[in-house]
Structure 1
Amino acid sequence: MGETNAVTSGSKQVWIVAGALMIGSVLLGPVLQVGSYLGPTGSLLSTLLMVVSMIMFAIGADRSTSVTARRPFGTAALIGLAVWTAVGTPALGALDTMPGRGAMIGVGYVDLIVTFVLAAIATTQIARAGIVPRPWNLAPLWVLVAAASVRVVQLVVVVAAGPDASRFAPFLSTLDRLGGAVAPVFLGIVAIVLASRDAGVAAAHREQES
């Protein structure tokens, strides 16, 4: 605990940039269907913006603006999640298209487990680092719980529907799209608002001192 939330207005600008990149990753995704015009390039850019944003949040401009306070465990988990998003998930997705291979090793479950473990470590470390002001230090954890809840709902629907599960494919697909859009936009807005608020407070203090 023991960390401080005091930061300079200049250094915390990294949160504004990272938050904007995170929101931008959604704007290039399927929600606004921009990716359909850009083709594979749109998906690639969307993923790249998300990865760069996560790494910026992990490293920050200095220790006081790293959401994990640059503690090795949490920082490695957040960067690992970014790398897995860029490399691991697409690689397993490609493997899943190979006849016989995907069903044999359950690549979807591997991706889900790795993503959840890295995200759980990162979010709990962010909550404990003391850099992000309360209660917003719990925002990434809220997103993780929401994402896990969506997965549970999807699983329940598939199991309950049995052979008729394909009928619910549009509903399950919509849940995925909403989760993939709402979470990064929410976190991006929170980061921008917190950084802007602190910059305003710092500016007010400078005016009082002058």
Structure 2
Amino acid sequence: MREQRLTWTIGGIGLVLCGVIGMLQYSVVSLAQASGLLVDVVFAGSVLLFAIGLSRAASVVRRRRLGVGALVVVAVWPLAMRAVEPFLPTMDAATFEAGLDAYRAAESALSTVSYVNLLVSIVASVLACVQIARAGVVPMPWNWAPTWALIASVAAGVVPAFLFASARACLPYRW
């Protein structure tokens, strides 16, 4: 029981720290890049701690393979995307000046990476949420808290797009 409290306290503090740093990262000039890496590292450490726990009973997924695997992907995927980012083509003036084919190739590569990133993130997150809820380690109703957070996160990304599209549709057509 002591390991469980300690695991959840340290992991929770790490996730809260991620939120605080995330909110403050753009308030200090030239801190965004470094703080983004710090957020990803602290997030990965916190999620891995929740997945593995200081003991089997402290793991939010009871160290079941599918749950640990999903949480490892959730934890490490942002760091993997950060590592791949420098190797991706850029959509800048030089790419545009290289010709339309180069621009379209860069656009295609970036779109593919973006869709793969979205798909892996969502699948791993949904799997992790289900495994946490089914493991029975986290008491009811808090075992569904990761699902609530996932729904809120998806809504925060989707709702503004719908609002923008509906506002655009309401504007009068101009010649």
Residue of structure 1 aligned with 2:107, choices 88, 103, 106: 103
Larger relative contact order (CA 8 Å, sep ≥ 6): 1
1:77 and 1:94 map into 2 onto residues whose CA distance is 26
Number of aligned residue pairs: give it.
157
Is the Cα–Cα contact under 8 Å of residues 29 and 35 in structure 1 kept in the other structure? no
User: 2 CA distance for matches of 1:116 and 1:19?
Assistant: 21
> Match for 1:19: what amino acid?
G
Q: Which amino acid aligns with 2:145?
A: A
Larger Rg: 2
Query: Structure 1 residues 69 and 10 mapped into 2: Cα distance closer, same or farther (>3 Å)?
Result: closer
- Distance verdict in 2 for CA 1:36–1:64, change over 3 Å: farther
Whether the aligned pair in 1 keeps the contact of 2:48 and 2:72 (CA below 8 Å) is yes
1:120 matched to 2:126? The reply is: yes
Where does structure 2 lack aligned partners over 5 or more consecutive residues?
Answer: 96-102, 170-175
Which ranges of structure 1 fall in alignment gaps of 5 or more residues?
1-7, 164-210
The question of whether the paired residues in 2 share the 8 Å contact of 1:120 and 1:141 is answered with yes
**Equivalent runs, 1:1-210 vs 2, <5 Å:** 8-31=1-24, 33=26, 36=29, 38-88=31-81, 91-92=84-85, 95=88, 97-98=90-91, 99=95, 100=103, 101-105=105-109, 106=111, 107-161=113-167
Aligned equivalents of 1:60, 1:37: Cα separation in 2: 35
Checking the alignment, whether the CA contact within 8 Å between 1:69 and 1:131 is kept in structure 2 is yes
**In the alignment, what sits opposite 2:98?**
none
Deviations 1:46-104 (A, max 9, x none): 21111100000000011111011111001100111111021125635862635434521
Residues 54 and 66 (structure 1), Cα distance of their counterparts in 2 relative to 1, 3 Å cut:
same
**Does the 8 Å contact 2:47/2:72 carry over to 1?**
yes
Q: CA RMSD in A?
A: 2.7
Please, what TM-score do these two structures have when normalized by structure 2?
0.76
